[in-house]
């Protein structure tokens, strides 16, 4: 599918969700909230966000209406982050680009910090998440209590599998627009290229980059298996999406309606985490059937390479001792 047609499909799909979010109202809403994200329409976040929007409309008797615009319909992730800060959109689910404004928001994604989801949820639902939400508030955004799951990230390539750190040397790898991702892969010897998510398929198709790294759910939803051959299960980083709101848009809503809206969105996040756990249990088989060749990676040599390159020490300094101590309360010693 060429770039233009692919965008037309994604945009058309986004209009369907936006229209569904408007349907079935007994009266015009008093508070209309525009929610954008850069995820495919099929991603569990859009499914659960749509359900939450319906539940919010019902629970508020139609007074609060959230219109959902997925697939970067309102712009790339960096554009939407600017828009939610200015009030051009009201809600945004933001991943790694948030670190450009709130560096510590990336700390749960430190390479190989968490071996499993139990450790992740303990941290982001506990003191680490509270610390990050407070920092997000300093740039004038409201962060909801529950972070949505993007998952552990795996590397796909078109030319060779990744089995050990040396396999990454010189590889042209797409990474999100985030200093942490660029720093990590540079320390591992790759040639990282920061590209917004909506452009990744085309970059892989045209060989601008050799590979990319994302959780299996996004690899499947974005159909990267059409333009990649290998999937190496590195599980190198976990990433989530903070749901953030423009404070002016948010605070115009009466407190009782805000509480209902926040509660239902947070419940949607927890349900989406459960969806992702079930999905991850089946995705490897599905993607193998679609042609991806999988290999499992021993993570220890990658972590040792990063430690020797000074990656952990560098980011300990950037995040600060307070944040790093909170991280290691859940992850154990890293630097």
Tokens encoding 201: 């398929």
In the chain, what percentage of residues exceed pLDDT 70? 92
Q: What is the pLDDT of residues 294-303, one digit of tens each?
A: 999 999 999 9
- State the average pLDDT over residues 38-54: 94
Q: Taking 50 as the threshold, does the pLDDT of residue 331 lie above it?
A: yes
Angle between helices 127-137 and 321-331 (to 10 degrees): 150
On whether the CB atoms of residues 136 and 171 are closer than 8 A, the answer is no
Q: Does domain 154-237+285-331 have CATH number 3.40.190.170?
A: yes
Q: Taking 80 as the threshold, does the pLDDT of residue 19 lie above it?
A: no
Segments of the chain assigned to CATH 3.40.190.170: 3-150+240-281, 154-237+285-331
- State the average pLDDT over residues 71-96: 95
CATH superfamily of 3-150+240-281: Bacterial extracellular solute-binding protein, family 7 (3.40.190.170)
Buried b (16+ CB within 10 A) or exposed e, 35-67: bbbbbbbebbbbbbbbebbbbbbeebebbbbbb
Model confidence, pTM: 0.84
Q: What is the pLDDT of residues 242-256, one digit of tens each?
A: 999 999 999 999 999
CA dihedral 231, 11, 148, 195 (to 10 degrees): 50
At residue 4 the predicted structure's pLDDT band, cuts being 50, 70 and 90, is very low
DSSP run (H or E) holding 294: strand 293-296
Q: Which residues contact 227 (CB under 8 A, 6 or more apart)?
A: 158, 201, 204, 205
DSSP label at 108?
Answer: G
On whether the CB atoms of residues 271 and 48 are closer than 8 A, the answer is yes
């Amino acid at each position: 599918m060429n770039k233009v047609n692919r965008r037309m499909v994604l945009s058309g799909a986004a209009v369907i969700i936006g229209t569904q979010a408007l349907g079935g109202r007994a009266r015009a809403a008093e508070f209309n909230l525009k929610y954008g994200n850069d995820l495919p329409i099929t991603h569990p976040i859009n499914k659960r966000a749509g359900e939450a929007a319906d539940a919010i409309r019902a629970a508020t008797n139609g007074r609060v209406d959230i219109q959902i615009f997925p697939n970067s319909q309102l712009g790339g992730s960096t554009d939407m982050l600017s828009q939610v800060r200015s009030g051009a959109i009201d809600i945004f689910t933001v991943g790694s680009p948030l670190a450009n404004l709130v560096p510590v928001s990336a700390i749960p994604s430190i390479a190989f910090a968490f071996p499993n989801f139990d450790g992740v949820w303990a941290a982001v639902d506990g003191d680490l998440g509270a610390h990050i939400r407070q920092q997000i508030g300093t740039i004038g955004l409201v962060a909801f209590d529950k972070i949505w799951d993007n998952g552990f990230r795996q590397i796909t390539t078109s030319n060779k599998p990744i089995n050990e750190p040396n396999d990454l040397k010189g590889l042209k790898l797409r990474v999100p627009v985030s200093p942490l991702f660029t720093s990590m892969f540079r320390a591992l010897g790759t040639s990282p290229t920061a590209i917004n998510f909506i452009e990744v398929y085309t970059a892989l198709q045209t060989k601008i980059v050799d590979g990319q790294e994302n959780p299996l759910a996004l690899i499947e939803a974005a159909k990267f298996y059409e333009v990649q051959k290998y999937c190496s299960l590195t599980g190198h980083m976990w990433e989530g999406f903070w749901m953030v709101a423009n404070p002016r848009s948010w605070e115009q809503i009466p407190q009782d309606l805000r509480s209902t809206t926040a509660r239902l969105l947070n419940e949607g996040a927890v349900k989406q985490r459960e969806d992702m756990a079930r999905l991850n249990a089946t995705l490897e088989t599905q993607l193998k059937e679609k042609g991806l060749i999988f290999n499992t990676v021993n993570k220890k040599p990658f972590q040792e390479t990063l430690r020797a390159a000074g990656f952990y020490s560098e980011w300990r300094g950037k995040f600060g001792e307070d944040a790093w101590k909170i991280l290691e309360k859940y992850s154990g010693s890293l630097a």
